[in-house]
Each structure stands twice: as C-alpha cells, then as structure tokens.
Structure 1
Amino acid sequence: MKKVLLSAAFSCALCLGLLAQSREINFKHDAAFKEVLAEAKKQNKLIFFDAYTSWCGPCKVMSNTVFKTDSVADFFNQTFVNLKVDMEKGEGPDLNKRFEVNAYPTLLFIDGDGNLVHKIVGSAPANEFMAESRKALNPESTVYGLGRKFNAGDHSAETTVAYMTALEAAYENDKMGEVAKVYFDALPQASLLEGKNWTMAKRFLYDVTSTSFAYLLSKSDDLAVKYGKGKVDMYFNQVFYSAISSLKKAYSTPGRLQAANHKVKVMEELLKTGKAPSSDEMLESLQLAQLSGTKQWDKFCDVISSKLQQTTKPGAHSILWPAMEMIRDAPVKYCVNALKWAEQYSDDKNNLTAQILVSDLRKMACKKQGKIKEAEAFALNSDSLRKQAAAKGRGTPQMMKD
C-alpha cells in the first residue's frame, strides 16, 4: 500500500481507464454510525469505512478513480455496507479517536458490533486495493487475526511475515517493529547482510532496541558498499525518526515511561557512534522529544532558539512541527515563543509546506489564546493552501490534532 500520492503517470492512466467506467461505490455519506452498525448487523455484512478529509490529496485520488472502477464498485456494493466520513466534521472527530486514525485515507473494515476487523492506510491502484480488501473476509488473513496467531506463539516465518505485511498496510509501524524484532533477532547476524534479509529489514525492521538493528548499523559501511550509500542512509534515517516520533506518544501513555527511557538510552548510544547519517540532528530531535515528554518547556524553547541561530536556517518542519506540539501540550504563555519562530518562515512564499505549517501553527496558537475568529481565519487559509498543494500533485504536512 502506498502512503503518498500516486505518480502522475499512474494517475493519468487511471483517469483514461475511467472513461469506460460508469459505476461507483455507493457510500452513505456522514450517516449516523449507530445506524450504519445496525444495518451491517442486520445484513450480516462488514462496514467499509472510508475515513477521509477534504484536503487530503490521496483521498481524492481514491474517490475519483479507484472507487469509480466498475469491478471495485460491484464488489463493494455487493459485499459491504459502505460509509464515507469526513473526519473533521460531525461524528468524525469522535470516530477518529475511537479507531485511532492517524493518516489519510484510512480505510477500515468493521463488524456489526463495532469491532475493527481489518485496516488499510494510504492510496493504491485498484488491483492492490481489491487484494488487500478481500483479506477482511478471511479472519485468519486480517491484521487482527494474524495478530492473535502470533500472540498465541505462532512465530513461524509464514505467519510472522504475513503479520508484518498486514501491519505495514495498516500503518502500524510501532507494532510492526516489535514483531520484526522477534523475527530478525532470531536470525544469524551474518545472514542479515544477505540480499533477501536486508530487503526485508529495510521494509519491516523499525525497532531501535533490537540486536539485529544494532548489528546492521555497525555494518553500515559494508551495507553501503554492497547496496548503495543513499539507500542505506535513507533506511537508518527513517528508523531513527520513526522511533523519535513514537517516543513522544510513549511518554504520554500510562505504563510506558520505563520503555520510553530505555529506548532513549539505546538511541543515544547508537547515535553517538556516528554510524547513523545526520546523527547530530537526530540527537537534537531526540532531546526535544525528551524535553516535551517531561514538560521541560523552558529548556525546550532554548533548544529551538539555539537551532534558529545557526548559520543555515533549519528546515521548516524541524522547527514548526515541535513548536505546534509545544502549543498543544504546554501552558498558553509559550504560544508567544512559537509565534516568533513562525515569523522566520512566513516570508518563504514559494515553499507551500512551510506556509501550511506556519498557518497551522498560527491557527493553533490563536485557538489556545482564545482568539477564535483569528483561529478560524487561519484554518481557512490552511485549507486553501492544502488544496493548492493537492491541485499541484504535492503531498501536504499532516494536520496536527489540537
């Protein structure tokens, strides 16, 4: 499953193909969820739930192409009760929390009792989407069915690889990393450098506490010679940034403090070896995650201010995203600091990503300060900027939940 916009060539091909298409999935739009559950139970069908937002480019691709493909429409109209919900309106925010939707589109399969059966995140061509969706009809092939088998002790290669693949499609990277740790740590370390295992590690191994990941990092020079430095560096960057992102959630989750502190210690040791690309930058991000997680906001502001005094201005996302996290989680007085940081990116009119982040930050700050009209104006501006980006086929920054 793809987490980004489909390529322009693929999109054009889909659009041309649709000239011969005439049917589409019959969705109930923003219908009361309780009523949809009752209908699904009465018909003994699963609910296909398209969780989308108005500004999401990949959501539009799915709606305008894949969902209007005759074979897809026929299958879904016969097999499921189909529901489409804007996750920012009506019941959307409550359903967002209930089903832990963190990216768009998120495509859910839910039984008549409200239990989540299967989950797909991102856009995909019709054939891939159909293949993944059919898994919802076989309890043993769903992400949750495979999880039950794995947790019951079935760690066979067949079950484990199938489970990791399902978790990948569901965008459950933290869980995928935990399962991958079990799988890869059981392999002979030298075998991790072999082509097949390296390819699988790049795809699934995202747990920085695994001994197999530490081994791969220690062999990063050998991997670079064998498979190319660019691809190797990209993998290690993705793993560390994903771990730092999940760390922020761990600090706020009851019972996860000890695990979070252990992960921090492991990451510090790995990054200080200098084997990882951008080690210094990642150590800074790790420090900010620790400070925000432990509510040390004055020190947090000092780190951001220091970064902005560097000769080369940091990328907008590395400053404005943590600034928005501070607005969300810190006392209101810290909004002033965040707004000052946003000023340093407000003049870059050619950078849509920076402009969206600046507008989102100002919206959040105004809302927290009680300036509701100003917040609404910035919200409209953010929506307009995201539509501009989508029209140009560009991805957009995720909208932070405030």
Structure 2
Amino acid sequence: MKKLLLILLLCSTSIVYSQGIVFEEGKFIEVTEIAKKTGKIVFIDFYTDWCGPCRNMVQNIFPIKEVGSFYNSNFINYKINAEKGEGIELAKRYSVSAYPTYFFINEKGDVIYKFMGARDQEGIIKEGNKALLLKSNIEKISLMEKVCKNHKNDTNFLKEYVDLLIESGREAGEPLNNYILLMDNDAMQDLNNIRYFENISLYSPAVMDKMIATLSYLYGIDPKSGLFAKLNKASVKSLSTLLRNSGKKSTVDELESLLVIKSKFTDFGNKDNITLASMGSGIALMPADELRLSYYKAHKMVIEYSLLFERYIDNYIALNSAEKIEKENMNLEIMLDDGMKKLAESGKSKEEIENSKKMFGMVNVFRTVNFRYYSTYILNGYTDYLTYNNNSIEAITKVSGWIEYSYLTCKQYDIAETAANILIKLNYPAKARIIIEDFLKNNTNNKSITPEQMETIRNILYSLL
C-alpha cells in the first residue's frame, strides 16, 4: 500500500512539473504560510487583464515544461491581478507601476529580487536563478538598513548598500541620493556610474540639480557624445520614476516641482513625445498636463480635473484638426508615390526601393501610434469629465464632438466600435451611424478585419436603422 501511495505521489509530482508553472490559489497570507513551512521563495506575478505581455507569458512561457519544472521545484508560485481585490493593496505595498512585474520574496514578505517585462524561456529561468543567488542578501540588507543613518557620509558603505538594493530590484531611495551627493565631477561623468543615475527613486532637489548640472556641462561639450546620451537616458528614466512616485503623494507640490525639472530637460532634446513614451521611454516624455490630469483623477480633485481635461483636449484638437491630419496623410501618400517613382527612374535596386518603403512605413506607424493614443485617451477619459460636470447638456454636447474626432483621426476597428457605442449611449445615433457607415465603406476588402468584427459593426448599423 505504501509503495502504491509513493508511486501515485511521484506520478502526480511528475504531472505537475510537466504542465508548466503551477500557481497557488488563495490569499497572500496563505501563500506566505506555505513559504514558512517549506522554506521556499515566493514568486509573484503581478498582472492586469489588459496587459498584452502578461497574456503572452501566461499562454506561451509559463506552460513550458522546463519552466514549470524549474519554478515548481524552487518556488511557491502566486499570481495576482493588480487591479482587483487583494491585488490593489499588494501592488501599492510593493510599488508596482508597470506590467507584468515579477517579485521574489521571502516568507516575511521581504523583497529578494524583482524584474519587469516579459521574458522568453531562457530569460525567465535566468531570473529565477538570480533570485536563488540573491536570497542570501536579505539578511545583509536588513542589517545595513538598521545602521544606514550612521553612514550618510561613508562612500564605501553607501556603495555596497546601494549595490545590494539595486541588484535585488529594490528602490535605493535615500542611500542612493546620499551616495550621488558625495560624488565628485569625475564620478558624475563615469560610465560605470550610469546604473546609479537611472535608479533614483526618492526626490531630492539637490540630487536633481546635480544631475542637470552634469547634463548641461556634457551637452555643452558635445550633445552627440555617447556619454551624454547614456547619462541623459538614465536621467529621463529616473525622472519618470520620480514623477510616477509623486502621484502617490497627498499633495501635488512634489509633482509640480518635478514638472519644473522636466521643463529643464527639454534643453537637452527631451521634448514631449507620446509615441516614445508609449513605447517605454518613460512618462517624463509625456505632456505635463497629462501628468497633472493623472494626479487629479487619482486623488479625486474633481474641479481641477474637469477644467484641465476640457482645456487640454480642446487645445489638442485645435492644433490637430481632423481635416489637417487627413490632408497630411494624403500628402504623405503622394510623397511616397512620387518618391518611389523617382527611385525607380534613377535605377535604384528593388532592395533599395523596398527599404525606402519600410522607412516610410515606420514614419506612418509612429503617426498612427500618436493619433491612436489621443483617440483612446478621449474614449477612456470622457466618463470622468461627464461625471464631474453632472452630465449637463453642454458637457454631453462637447463630449459627442470629442468622440467623433477620436474616430476621424484613427479609423481603426476598436475605435470605430467604441466611438459608435458611446455616441448611441449619449443619444447621438446619427453621428454613430456616420461612423459605422464610413468604417464599412472603407474596410469592405480589408483582410485585417475579421468576419466577426465586420459582423459586430454591421449589427450596430442594423440597430440604428
């Protein structure tokens, strides 16, 4: 009988290891209790429903046999939606700001290591191995944290402590600020110290002044130098972290101070760029008013949000009318046709012509990303604006114009469907019908639109007849 039980246990274990990562169910505290009993590290996957890379990991990486075997044997695995239930508080506790974010913690909840973003099979196992190696650092970090206040001017101590914190994926906070303030000019221009400049997480006017002074000096010597480019990129990354953290503060003062610093960064070529910001270059490249709106919304500053949202959207539309954008798109198409003809006439090879087409395609992609961003920004933000204005007739009328604009500047399927449904809800069926009919007219032979999507659009039209 005992042999039979042992065989069954081994078989079940084999099945678990061959089916990919097995995640524990239940509350967070229950998972840490398992960690206490087993002595294992807890691996946490912070995800959201809308996160594409999160879905990719769940569908394509976590189910891999080798990944499951490694993680199931070494860790207690737990995943939690950062925007629902217990996940909301846990995301705040661990300062989760991007998805997916993965943590390795001990049974007490102390962070051993964290990393952000999707990984392939080799990468996810590599991150796990790193966490196993860093487990021994927990006790040392704890001891150094207790005596850190007595070593504010001790460069060697601060460097060792900060290195441990950064290596573990933790915020280095005040110890890092103190370390940077002790650096001389040569150290501030040392490429080996870039890792410190990109991990600033606690706002210090003195530290930021020092960073700006160094950037200004290097920019004045050679704005195209590799050193300046790397320090600038690191500084933008840290400024993005500081701006994100300021959103959690009880007053808007720190955000406003950081926006002043952000304006100084434009002197080094860091102009607002929605496209780059959306592609991961950092929220320091977002427009200042959007950062303000994010803060106002999070802190339920109703009047401030309503007034700024209206002004911000109206100003954007005034500068980027649908007619202007359509004309620019037509001109770009004409330029492409003319350019391809000239290249062919000049005897350029097919490969050179194709490369030119690809370059134009990239320009078009960046433009599309930008217009789509503002369309979705309107579609996602209008409800708060209406609520804050008590759904007044004036507010609804204004919003209907914004919704119409969101489709005219980005005529993609999901934008068309969402915009039409919103207009129907706002009692503007005629405007909704114009959008649906325009979409059907322009996408009859568009193979990128699935039959199911076309059916959805047609059903909206039928409901309006």
Q: Taking structure 2 as the reference length, what is the TM-score of the superposition?
A: 0.54
Counterpart of 1:277 in structure 2: which amino acid?
N
The equivalences for 1:53-64 within 5 A come to 53-63=48-58
State yes or no: 1:102 paired with 2:104: no
Alignment match, 2:47: 52
In structure 1, the partner of 2:215 is: 217
SS in structure 2 opposite 1:224? coil
Query: In the alignment, is residue 307 of structure 1 matched against residue 307 of structure 2?
Result: no
Q: How does 1:315-326 map to 2 (within 5 A)?
A: 315-317=371-373, 320-321=376-377, 324=380
Query: For 1:194-234, what per-residue CA distance to the aligned partner results, in whole angstroms no more than 9, with x for missing partners?
Result: 4333x436633576832321113313243523218876765
Which residue is 1:392 aligned to? Answer: none
Q: Distance in 2 between matches of 1:323 and 1:350?
A: 13
2:388 equivalent to 1:331: yes
Cα deviation code 1:114-163 (max 9, x no counterpart): 66665433223134312332156325379878766756747522221332
**Aligned counterpart, 1:163:** 165
Cα deviation, residue 310, structure 1: 0.9
One-letter amino acid of the structure 1 residue matched with residue 388 of structure 2: P
Is 1:128 matched with 2:131? no
Separation in structure 1 between the aligned mates of residue 232 and residue 286 of structure 2, nearest angstrom: 18
- What is aligned with 1:341? 402
Q: Does 1:138 align with 2:131?
A: no
Secondary structure of the 1:274 match is helix
C-alpha change, 1:236 and 1:138, in structure 2 (3 Å) is closer
Aligned twin of 1:15? none
Q: Give a deviation string over 1:251-306, Cα, whole Å, max 9, x none.
A: xx33x5543444344445x25x7344316997992245446646423244213311
- Greater relative contact order (Cα 8 A, min sep 6): structure 1 or 2? 1
1:278 corresponds in structure 2 to 271
Q: 1:242 to 1:26 in 2, by over 3 A?
A: closer
* Partner-residue secondary structure (3-state), 2:406: coil
Which residue of 67, 74, 80 maps to 1:79? 74
Are the counterparts in 1 of residues 42 and 78 from structure 2 also a CA contact under 8 Å? yes
CA contact under 8 A between 1:208 and 1:266: conserved in structure 2? no
1:39 maps to 34
Please name the residue that 1:27 is paired with. 23
CA contact (8 A) 1:208 1:267 kept: no
For 1:318 and 1:243, locate their aligned partners in 2 and report how far apart those are by CA, in whole Å.
Answer: 24
Residues in 2 aligned to 1:50 and 1:280: alpha-carbon distance in whole angstroms: 30
Displacement of 1:340 = 4.1
Q: Percent of aligned positions with the same letter in both sequences?
A: 18
Does the 8 Å CA contact 1:119/1:143 hold for their aligned counterparts?
A: no
- Residues in 1 aligned to 2:39 and 2:227: alpha-carbon distance in whole angstroms: 51
How many correspondences in the alignment?
333
Asked if the contact 1:181–1:205 (Cα under 8 Å) also holds between the matched residues in 2, the reply is yes
Are 2:199 and 1:204 aligned?
A: yes
Equivalent-residue separation in structure 2 for 1:115 and 1:176 (angstroms): 14
CA contact (8 A) 1:48 1:109 kept: yes
| Cα displacement string for residues 175-212 of structure 1 (whole angstroms, at most 9, x for unaligned residues) | 45755433323211244234333x43663357683232
Point out the structure with max Rg over C-alpha: 2
Alignment partners' CA distance in 2, 1:238 and 1:347: 34
Whether the 8 Å CA contact 2:20–2:64 is kept in 1: the answer is: yes
CA distance in structure 1 between the aligned counterparts of 2:92 and 2:231, rounded to whole angstroms? 36
CA distance in 2, matches of 1:142, 1:325: 46
Is the Cα–Cα contact under 8 Å of residues 43 and 102 in structure 2 kept in the other structure? Answer: yes
Partner of 1:383: none
**How far off its partner does 1:62 sit?**
3.5
Checking the alignment, whether the CA contact within 8 Å between 2:141 and 2:161 is kept in structure 1 is no
Is the 8 Å Cα contact of residues 140 and 146 (structure 1) preserved in structure 2?
Answer: no
Q: Distance in 1 between matches of 2:290 and 2:23?
A: 43
Cα distance between partner residues in 2 of 1:222 and 1:116: 41
Work out which of the residue numbers 177, 193, 204 in structure 2 matches 1:181.
Answer: 177
Give the secondary-structure state (helix, strand or coil) at the position aligned to 1:51: strand
Kept in 2, the 8 Å contact 1:50–1:85? The answer is yes
Is contact 1:193-1:216 (8 Å) kept?
yes
- Conserved 8 A contact 1:109-1:136: no
User: Any stretches of 5+ residues in structure 2 without a counterpart?
Assistant: 1-16, 275-283, 326-369, 426-447, 449-465
The answer to whether the 8 A contact 2:51-2:100 is kept is: yes
In 2 relative to 1, CA 86–204 (structure 1 residues): closer, same or farther, beyond 3 Å?
closer
Question: What root-mean-square deviation, in Å, do the aligned CA atoms of Structure 1 and Structure 2 show?
Answer: 4.9
Pair 1:151–1:81, CA change in 2 (3 A)? farther
What is the letter of the counterpart of residue 159 of structure 2?
A
- 1:280 and 1:64 map into 2 onto residues whose CA distance is 32
Note the C-alpha offset of 1:101. Answer: 3.8
CA contact (8 A) 2:18 2:69 kept: no
- Which amino acid in 2 is paired with 1:274? D
Q: Distance in 2 between matches of 1:242 and 1:339?
A: 35
